[in-house]
Amino acid sequence: MSLKNQEQEIRSKLNQIIDKLLHLGENVQSKELEKSNPLLAELNRRDSGIEIWDWPQGVGLYGLHKFLSFEENKDYRAFLENWYASHFAGALPLRNINTTAPLLTMVDFIDENPGYRKLAISWADWLIHDLPKTEEGGFQHVTSGSGDGRSLILNEQQLWVDTLFMAVLFLNRMGQKYDRQDWVDESIHQMLMHIKYLCDPHTGLFYHGWTFKERNHFGGIFWCRGDSWFTLVVPEFLEQCGETLAPSIRRYISDTFRAQVRALSALQAPDGLWHTILDDPESYEETSGTAAIAAGILHGIRTGILDNSFLPCAEKAIEGILNQIDADGTVLNVSAGTAIGMNAEHYKNIAIAPMAYGQSLTILALVEALWALKVK
C-alpha cells in the first residue's frame, strides 16, 4: 500500500504512540523475573520506561525530538525540556556508551543552558580521551551494569554496532556544532572502524559485535535491531557531515549502506517486517528493528543516498509496522534489551515487551513516512 493511502492512519497513530511513550510504565515482565533473575528484572525496568537516563530513554527522546522537527507541539517540547532539567538537577549515571545516548537530543538544547553545554563538551572529550578503547582505538562498548547506572560492564575489546547510534552520532554532532575537527575526525574513524569489523562482505549485512580477544563475531548472528542501528545512523550521519566529509569517505559509507539495504530488502517478510535473526525465517518478526530500518531507508531516499526503487520496501514496512500498533498506542512485538549471543537460540529467546525504544523507533519511521509524503 502506498504511503499516501496510509497518511491518515499514520497521523492518528503517531500521537497515540507518543502519548504512550511519555507514560510508558514498568515492564510487567520484570515482576516475573524478580525471583529468577533480579539483575535482568532491574534492567528490564530500565528499558521499559522513559524516566531513567540511559540508552532506551536516549532513543525515546530522539524520536520525540524528530517529531518536533517535523511538527511543533508545545506539550511535547515541554516534556523534553522538563526531562533534561529534572535529570540535570539530580545525579547522573556513570559515563558509558549507552548513557551517552540522551546527549544526542540535548545538543539542540545546550545553547539555552550553560550547564548543558559544559556537560556535553566534557562528555565529548571523555569519549575521546577516557572511554576505554579496543585495538585500533575503537570505542569499547562499555555499558551500565545495573538499572540505576551506578556500575559498569566493560565488554573489554568489544565493538558493538549499537555504538554508532549511542555515541558516534553525538560526537559528530558536537564536532559540527563547535567546529571541533578532532571530534568530527574521531566520529568518522569510529564509523569506518565499525564498518571494517562488523560488515560481512559476503552478504552486506552487519554482525552484532566483534571481539579483539577471540577475533570473531561471537555467534556470527545477523540480528535485526543490530543491523537497523547502521541503517538508521548512516543518513543522519552523512546529513550532519554535509560538505565537510571527503567525497571518497562519503562514497565508501554510502556504498556500504546501499549494499546493506539491498540485502535487507531481499530478507523482508511478506507482511513487511523483518525477523529478529534476519536470515532465519523461523525466528520471530520484530518491530523495533523493522521501524529503524524503515526510517533509515526513507531518510536515505529523502537525502538522495538511495533511489526510489527502495520505496516499495519502505512502504511495505510501514504497513507492517502500523499493524503492530495496539489500540492504546503500544508498539507490539518489540524485543527486550539484547546482549551479544553465541548462538541463534539466544536471540530467539529474548523476551518481547513494550519498550521505550520500540515506541521511539516507530515514531522515527512514521515521521520519515510523513516527510516522504511532504517531499512528494
Each residue's pLDDT tens digit, 43-58: 566 667 898 999 999 9
CA distance 304 to 300: 6
pLDDT above 70 (res 340): yes
Cell output for 231: 541503517
308-322 mean pLDDT: 97
Average pLDDT, the chain: 93
Percentage of the chain beyond pLDDT 70 is: 93
Reported as a pLDDT band with limits 50, 70 and 90, residue 132 is very high
* Residues identified as active-site: 162
pLDDT above 80 (res 35): no
Least confident of 139-148, 170-179, 336-345: 139-148
Q: Spell out the alpha helix ranges (H) of 155-216.
A: 163, 169-178, 181-198
- Residues whose CB falls within 8 Å of the CB of residue 115, separated by 6 or more in sequence, listed in order: 88
Chain CA centroid to CA 147, Å: 19
Q: Residue 73's domain spans which residues?
A: 3-375
Kindly report the length of the chain. Answer: 376
Cell output for 145: 551494569
N-term to C-term CA, the chain: 16
pLDDT (0 to 100) of residue 3: 87
Tens digits of per-residue pLDDT, 74-105?
999 999 999 999 999 888 999 999 999 999 99
Q: Between the CA of residue 225 and those of 51, 161, 334, 340, 346, what are the distances in Å?
A: 22, 10, 10, 12, 14
Residue 65 CB-density burial (10 A; 0-12 exposed, 13-18 middle, 19+ buried): buried
Tell the residue number behind the cell numbers 503517531, with chain if given. Answer: 14
pLDDT above 80 (res 40): no
Query: Could you give the number of structural domains in the chain?
Result: 1
CATH of the domain at 194: 1.50.10.10
Determine the 3-state secondary structure of 214 from DSSP: coil
Percentage of the chain beyond pLDDT 90 is: 85
